[in-house]
C-alpha cells in the first residue's frame, strides 16, 4: 500500500482543531448574534476549511432581514480559506491548501443537469457547505465543512498570488458570467445595466469582457461615478424620469439590445422593458423573491417580442473559466470593496449591507 493510499484511509488535521468556534448565528428576523458553536465534524469524503474571508451577498440580506429562511442558521457562501482537515478517502485536497468552495454542486446526471439547468437539480438545491445547524453556506463562522459532493467537485485551489479576499468573488462572478451568457450579450451590442450596487458593477465588469457598449443607471451619484470609472459610457439617474429617453437617444431610437436588472424592485421591470428595443432581452438577476408579483404590459412581449429572462445561482460547467477571471486578475473586483468587518461586528456589516450608503458597496467579513 502506498503512502498516499494509506493517508487516504484516515482522517487528517492540520494541528489541533478546536471543539468550538465563533460564528454569526442568524437567530431572528434582522438579527445575527456572535456565538460559540461546535466546529463541524468531518466524516468520510469531507473537507474542513478554516474561513479567512467571506463576502456578504444580497441573498444573505434577504434571508436575514426579510426572513426568507427560518433561524437558526449560519449563512455566508462567498468564502475562501485554508483546508485544515480531510476525511477518509479524500485525495484531491491536502492540509494547508488555500481554497474557495461553492456551496451548491449538481448531480450531473438528472434531466436538469443534462439540459444545463444546474440550479434546478435536486442535489443542487441541497446545500453542501455548512458551519452548523441547517446547511446554508456557513461562511459567517470560523470553520465550514464541505460535504463529499462539494469536496470532490466544488472546491477551487487558489494560487499564492490571489488573496483570500479576491477569492471570495469567485462564486458571485460565476453567477454573473452565467447571467451575461443567458442574456446572450455579444460584442458591439448596447447594454443597459440597471443598478450599480455590487452585483450591477460585477455585471458591468463581465459584460465589458464581451465587448458590449454599456450604460448604467442608479439613484446614488457615487455609484454612478464608480460605474463610469469601471468602464460604463454614461450613467443615468433613474429618478429623473428620463432613463428610457436617454437610452433610446443613444441607440437611434431603438433601445438597448439587452437590459440587465440588478435591482429587486418590481417597478423597475416595467422601465427595463421600455428601455429594451423590440426583440431585445431583459435579464432579471435580482428577482428571487418568492412572494413579490411583477406586472408589465403584455404588448411588450406579445407584440414587441421582447424577452424576459431569469438567471439564478452558479453553473458548474463554467466553474474553471469563470474562476479564471478572478484568479487571472482580469476583473477589478477589489475596486468595489469598501468595508471590512471582523466577525465580532458582523451585525454592523449586515446592517450596512441592508441599508447601503453613498460610500458603501461590497462588504466583507474578515476572520482574524
The structural domains of the chain, with segments of one domain joined by +, span 3-173+315-366, 184-310
Length reported for the chain = 368
Instruction: Classify the phi-psi angles of 156: left when phi > 0, otherwise alpha if psi is within -120 to 50, otherwise beta.
Output: beta
At 288 the pLDDT is 75
At 153 the pLDDT is 97
At 9 the pLDDT is 59
**184-310: CATH number:** 3.40.50.720
pTM beyond 0.75: the answer is: yes
Same fold flag, 3-173+315-366 and 184-310: no
At 74 the pLDDT is 98
At 292 the pLDDT is 83
**3-173+315-366: CATH number:** 3.90.180.10
Cell reading at 102: 461553492
Nearest to 130 by CA among 158, 110, 104, 112: 104
Cell reading at 227: 460605474
At 6 the pLDDT is 47
Cβ 88 vs Cβ 8: under 8 Å: yes
Nearest-angstrom CA–CA distance, 104 and 113 = 13
Which stretches of the chain score pLDDT less than 70? 1-10
Amino acid at each position: 500500500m502506498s503512502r498516499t493510499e494509506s493517508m487516504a484511509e484516515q482522517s487528517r488535521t492540520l494541528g489541533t482543531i478546536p471543539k468550538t468556534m465563533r460564528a454569526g448565528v442568524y437567530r431572528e428576523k434582522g438579527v445575527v448574534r456572535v456565538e460559540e458553536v461546535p466546529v463541524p465534524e468531518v466524516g468520510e469524503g469531507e473537507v474542513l476549511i478554516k474561513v479567512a474571508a467571506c463576502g456578504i451577498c444580497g441573498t444573505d440580506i434577504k434571508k436575514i432581514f426579510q426572513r426568507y429562511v427560518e433561524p437558526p442558521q449560519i449563512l455566508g457562501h462567498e468564502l475562501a480559506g485554508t483546508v485544515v482537515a480531510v476525511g477518509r478517502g479524500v485525495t484531491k485536497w491536502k492540509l494547508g491548501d488555500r481554497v474557495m468552495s461553492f456551496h451548491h454542486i449538481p448531480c450531473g446526471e438528472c434531466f436538469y443537469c443534462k439540459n444545463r439547468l444546474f440550479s434546478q437539480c435536486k442535489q443542487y438545491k441541497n446545500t453542501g457547505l455548512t458551519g452548523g445547524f441547517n446547511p446554508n453556506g456557513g461562511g459567517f463562522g470560523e470553520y465550514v465543512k464541505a460535504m463529499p459532493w462539494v469536496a470532490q467537485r466544488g472546491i477551487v485551489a487558489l494560487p499564492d498570488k490571489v488573496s483570500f479576499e479576491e477569492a471570495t468573488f469567485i462564486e458571485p462572478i460565476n453567477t454573473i458570467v452565467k447571467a451575461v451568457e443567458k442574456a446572450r450579450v455579444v460584442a458591439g451590442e448596447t447594454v443597459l445595466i440597471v443598478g450599480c450596487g455590487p452585483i450591477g458593477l460585477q455585471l458591468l465588469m463581465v459584460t465589458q469582457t464581451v465587448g458590449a457598449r454599456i450604460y448604467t443607471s442608479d439613484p446614488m451619484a457615487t455609484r454612478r461615478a464608480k460605474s463610469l470609472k469601471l468602464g460604463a459610457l454614461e450613467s443615468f439617474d433613474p429618478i429623473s424620469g428620463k432613463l428610457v429617453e436617454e437610452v433610446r437617444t443613444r441607440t437611434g431610437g431603438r433601445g438597448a439590445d439587452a437590459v440587465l436588472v440588478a435591482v429587486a424592485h418590481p417597478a423597475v421591470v416595467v422601465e427595463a422593458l421600455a428601455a429594451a428595443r423590440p426583440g431585445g432581452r431583459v435579464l432579471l438577476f435580482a428577482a428571487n423573491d418568492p412572494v413579490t408579483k411583477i406586472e408589465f404590459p403584455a404588448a411588450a412581449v406579445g407584440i414587441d417580442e421582447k424577452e424576459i429572462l431569469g438567471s439564478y445561482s452558479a453553473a458548474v460547467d463554467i466553474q474553471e473559466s469563470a474562476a479564471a477571471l478572478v484568479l487571472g486578475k482580469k476583473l477589478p473586483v477589489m475596486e468595489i470593496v469598501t468595508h471590512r468587518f471582523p466577525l465580532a461586528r458582523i451585525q454592523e456589516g449586515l446592517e450596512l449591507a441592508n441599508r447601503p450608503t453613498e460610500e458603501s458597496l461590497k462588504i466583507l467579513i474578515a476572520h482574524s
